[in-house]
Amino acid sequence: MFDKAVFPRDKVCGDALPGRVVKKLTAIDPAYAEALRKFPRKNTTRYTRLIYGNREICMEWVLDAYTCSRMEFDNFLLDLVRTHTQTTLYLGSAITGIRREGDYFLISCEDEKTYRCRMVVGADGANSIVARSVAGKVVDRAHRAVSVRAYYSGLTGFDTDSLYVYLDPRFMPSYLWVFPLAPGLANVGMGMHATQLQKKQVNLRAHFQEFLHADLLKDKFKNAVPARSQEGFSLPLASDTRPVSGDGYLLLGDAASLVDPVTGEGIGNAMCSGHLAAQTIMSCFQQKNFSAAKTCEYDKALKARIGKELHTHHLLQRLLTRMPWLFGMAFFFCSIPFVQRLIKKLF
């Protein structure tokens, strides 16, 4: 396993771990989920609070959910790899090139060493070199969102067991999140679809600061201090339905464009893709078949597991983007207990 960074390292993210994360860890090995439950550097989440104007909807989580900085969570996952597998790790090894030679791939590293492998698995994020070099994938703004994130301390009025999502008609179609990590400390961010950002000529960083000083939040942020500067990041949305496998390769997580088009959440879907990819990889080696006709089993499994949900969310995202006034109507429906129960089942 190659990674250009040496862990622990930061990853720009919202830092929310939905119930799907724990559910997937349990499916891989119950001991992994239990390790996360005992992991001390996380914060337990019980509720999601949606705030639209002066109205609020509070939804209780059914499954275990947490907030945890990606520096801590990703390092936790890497410790599971170190403890429970015989994986050879090449950390601090940036990949500079990948090329095909016969039945194998040749992986070139920054240290000028070259490695040979039969399969390449791209779990290397939104700007995946595997997606570009092997799958021939190019960035498509039609399937991207852009976000900014910062950590703030000195916050007041936020319960640590809740995720806060703020909607304001003046800032549509976007939302602002406040995800507490500890008393007074939170991951705060804002996102917008890339096409809308370009169409409306929005300065997202300025938009973000304006939202923080709006009536909804100004009192809670009056003593807030940025614990770290703003950072921007790209979200490859699951509306991009190009194949995520081919002859000898698979793409996972952000490299496979699996970010939920409505919520912007990607960790749960990434974990799901990792589990399904592992099953396909094992089958490929057992049958000594690495062809695209074989690896596409992964695409089919992924579509069967989360495809319908992501397609529905894509249609909803398009509808709400074109008609932002529907947010008010959607907010009303989300306040109905029956609808809330349906939403809980998704997470």
* DSSP string of 259-313, one letter each residue: B-TTT---HHHHHHHHHHHHHHHHHHHHHT--SHHHHHHHHHHHIIIIIHHHHHH
Q: Is the pLDDT of residue 346 over 60?
A: no
The pLDDT, as a whole number, for residue 340 is: 66
Point out which residues pair with 245 in neighbouring strands: 250
Q: Which pLDDT band, with edges at 50, 70 and 90, does 168 fall under?
A: confident
Q: Is the pLDDT of residue 329 over 60?
A: yes
Distances (CA, A) of 157 to 68, 181, 185, 345: 20, 14, 11, 28
Q: Which pLDDT band, with edges at 50, 70 and 90, does 96 fall under?
A: very high
Q: Mean pLDDT in the chain?
A: 92
Q: Which pLDDT band, with edges at 50, 70 and 90, does 173 fall under?
A: confident
2-141+237-346: CATH superfamily: FAD/NAD(P)-binding domain (3.50.50.60)
- Backbone phi, psi, residue 28, to 5°: -70, -50
Q: Is the pLDDT of residue 347 over 60?
A: no
Q: Which pLDDT band, with edges at 50, 70 and 90, does 12 fall under?
A: very high
Is 167 exposed, middle or buried (CB count within 10 Å of its CB: 0-12, 13-18, 19+)?
A: buried
**CB-CB contact of 151 with 226 (8 Å):** yes
pLDDT > 70 fraction of the chain, expressed in percent and rounded:
95
The pLDDT, as a whole number, for residue 345 is: 58
Q: Is the pLDDT of residue 323 over 80?
A: no
Compute the average pLDDT of residues 147-168. 95
| Domains in the chain: boundaries | 2-141+237-346
Which of 12-21, 203-212, 321-330 is predicted with the least confidence, judged by mean pLDDT?
321-330
CB-facing half-sphere around the CA of 195: CA atoms within 13 A:
12
pTM, two decimals, is 0.92
| 169 vs 145, residue with greater confidence | 145
Residues 179, 161: Cα–Cα separation, whole Å = 9
Q: Is the pLDDT of residue 111 over 90?
A: no
Q: Is the pLDDT of residue 328 over 80?
A: no
Q: Could you read off the pLDDT of 55-94 as tens digits, one per residue?
A: 888 888 888 999 999 999 999 999 999 999 999 999 999 9
Distances (CA, A) of 235 to 5, 6, 23, 145, 264: 20, 23, 23, 5, 7
CA angle 6, 268, 216 (to 5 degrees): 95
Which of 130-139, 243-252, 337-346 is predicted with the least confidence, judged by mean pLDDT?
337-346
Query: Closest Cα partner for 76 from 4, 147, 21?
Result: 21
The pLDDT, as a whole number, for residue 342 is: 66
Residues 299, 293: Cα–Cα separation, whole Å = 11
Q: Could you read off the pLDDT of 188-247 as tens digits, one per residue?
A: 999 999 998 888 888 999 999 999 998 889 999 999 999 888 899 999 999 999 999 999
Residues 236, 146: Cα–Cα separation, whole Å = 9
Q: Would you tell me how many other CB atoms lie within 10 Å of the CB of residue 74?
A: 20
CA 133, 136, 141, 145 dihedral sign is negative
| 150 vs 57, residue with greater confidence | 150
Query: Closest Cα partner for 214 from 16, 24, 51?
Result: 51
Phi-psi region of 4 (alpha: psi -120 to 50; beta: other; left: phi over 0): alpha
Query: Closest Cα partner for 95 from 126, 120, 129?
Result: 129
